[in-house]
Structure 1
Amino acid sequence: MSTDFQQAREALGVRLRELRLSAPGGRLTGPQLAQRIGWAHSKVYKLENGQQTATSDDLRAWSEGVGQPRTFDELDARLKGFESHIRSWRRQLAAGHRPVQDAWNLEVSKATTIRAWEEAVVPGMLQTADYARHIFLRYADLQGTTRDTDDAVRARIRRQEWLYESGRRFHALIWEAALHALVCPPSVLAAQLDRLTGIVGMDTVELGVIPLSASLKVPTANGFWVLDECLVIAEDWHAELWLDDADSVAVYLRVWNTLRESAVYGADAQAVINRARRALPPR
């Protein structure tokens, strides 16, 4: 978990403790507050010590439990402030994958130049509908979230219209391992690889593939996207990071440019894709 995120969570915990100790009817102990709210008292201490991230409902219950309901807006603003950068999958996917795709579509629609690095899957902007469907199903199973798969697929495919607008430029880097990963049936992956082959040479797309045999100057770590050199969106297992400070953006651009030095393009990229295609198990 990032230091900034943890510090913000701990600061919110300090504020929650202040409110508990300054309750209008007299200071409350943790167990007393927990009884009022209907929680296990351990949850009170976890929130106050920054060991658990509160939800908006938690903060509303807290403000009412300590007899200071007007403090809810302040507490909720603090929560939204640090969660705007660290967006937990548990919260984002509470209503399914479609809202997450809609949020992405909004940001992508405003961008002119996008750089993407994916080490494990084909970038969403280049996915076929069938491939995207299997990706969403895998993550829905992992996170135990709502299966709104068809709506999510439609939203992701709609985002790809961006690729056909003049003045746009999509620079994609893929590690060869992603071309072999059977996160879907072989027939679906075969169609996906065929699509990638056809994308090579599009005037709005620069597709680079880093072969498994390539020398690397940095490890192939988690995938990330850079939009207009202003916003970075990176994924981890627990959350999606949205970073817009200049220093963070500069770091990710430096990583992207370093990875790019190991990539092949054009006919050489097609050869790597075709090699993965031939390596697929028989249907």
Structure 2
Amino acid sequence: MAVSASSSAQAARQILADRLGEIRRDAGLTGQQLARACGWHPSKSSRIENAKTSPSADDIRAWCAATGAEDQVDDLVESLRAVEGMFIEWRRMERTGLRRAQEAVLPLFERTRRFRSYSSWLVPGLIQTRAYTSQVLRAVQRRRVPVDDVEEAVQVRMERQHILYEQGRTFAFLVEESVLRTGMGGREVMAGQLDRLRDVGSLPNVSFGVVPMRPDRLCMPVEGFWIYDNAPVNVELVSGYLTITQPREVAEYARRYAELAEMAVYGPRARALISAALSALG
């Protein structure tokens, strides 16, 4: 299940476009008639209905006015905003530095009660050590962020970890075994991080599982993702940050999480894999 920004965001655009097409047809108008009523180029309504051109909020208002569907404006504009917010390029999110990007997710974390996290690349942020987080965010800053506020961003992420100890929240973390073997910052940083992981599973509201490396897997690794309660799902891609809210896609991620969780080991077996990774550091 390789989910890309184009596949998920484009599907959402098409759903909005289909709704606009239905409104036009219900009004008994052709695409060219609608375009004339709105004062547009004759092909604009067709491009919108085929999701080749994204409508603006003003376009939606004009569309509804021309078709007598003013009562649907608010709902359609809200759908448009959801589509526009699905995929955010990293350069947009981080243009003023990493601290604000870390702060942006705080409201979502504060209102979530059930967290499910799967990682095939790095240790999830909520259970990172300060040293590991510093290395991760420094690598990000060097690669794509002109503003150097790494220390402030690290502090925000560390403060966010307080929710691990709050009653009424549950956390399920899954990592690929390769995450234990490939790290950031060298042996000392990784040793501290692995020690942290051995302790995480002892928290009463935390489940920590490791998907072992093996040659006969039935479910291959996928991109890392978080599921917050029953929605949304957040996926970190190379090019940007994807937010998924469509029930069908959210359900697909939940199914994949369950499959990976079934393959994982927990408790003493997970700690044994962590200890083996520690020993391999030398």
> Within 5 Å, which residues of 2 pair with 1:15-54?
none
SS in 2 for 1:2: helix
How far apart are the structure 1 equivalents of 2:145 and 2:52?
A: 23
The residue number in structure 2 matching 1:270 is 271
Preserved contact between residue 216 and residue 259 of structure 1 (Cα < 8 Å): no
Deviations 1:205-251 (A, max 9, x none): 10001111274322101100001012100110011111122111100
How far apart are the structure 1 equivalents of 2:274 and 2:53?
A: 44
The residue number in structure 2 matching 1:167 is 168
* Amino-acid identity (%): 30
The residue number in structure 1 matching 2:109 is 108
SS in 1 for 2:102: helix
**Equivalent residue letter for 1:239:** G
> Within 5 Å, which residues of 2 pair with 1:131-280?
131-213=132-214, 215-280=216-281
How much has 1:81 moved relative to structure 2?
4.3
The residue number in structure 2 matching 1:126 is 127
Tell me: CA distance 1:261–1:278, structure 2 relative to 1, closer, same or farther (3 Å).
Answer: same
How far apart are the structure 1 equivalents of 2:273 and 2:112?
A: 29
How much has 1:144 moved relative to structure 2?
3.6
Preserved contact between residue 97 and residue 152 of structure 1 (Cα < 8 Å): yes
1:2 to 3, 6, 11: 6
How far apart are the structure 1 equivalents of 2:136 and 2:167?
A: 29
Deviations 1:76-112 (A, max 9, x none): 9998543311111110010111112112221011011
SS in 1 for 2:248: helix
What TM-score, normalized by structure 1, do the two folds share?
Answer: 0.73
How far apart are the structure 2 equivalents of 1:127 and 1:177?
A: 16
Runs (4 or more) in structure 1 with deviation over 2 Å come to: 3-9, 50-53, 76-83, 213-217
How far apart are the structure 2 equivalents of 1:247 and 1:212?
A: 30
Preserved contact between residue 232 and residue 244 of structure 2 (Cα < 8 Å): yes
Q: CA RMSD in A?
A: 3.4
Tell me: CA distance 1:214–1:203, structure 2 relative to 1, closer, same or farther (3 Å).
Answer: farther
Q: Which structure 2 segments of 5+ residues have no match?
A: 18-34, 42-50, 55-76
> Within 5 Å, which residues of 2 pair with 1:70-85?
80-85=81-86
What TM-score, normalized by structure 2, do the two folds share?
Answer: 0.73
**Equivalent residue letter for 2:221:** T
Q: Across the two proteins, how many residue pairs are aligned to each other? A: 236
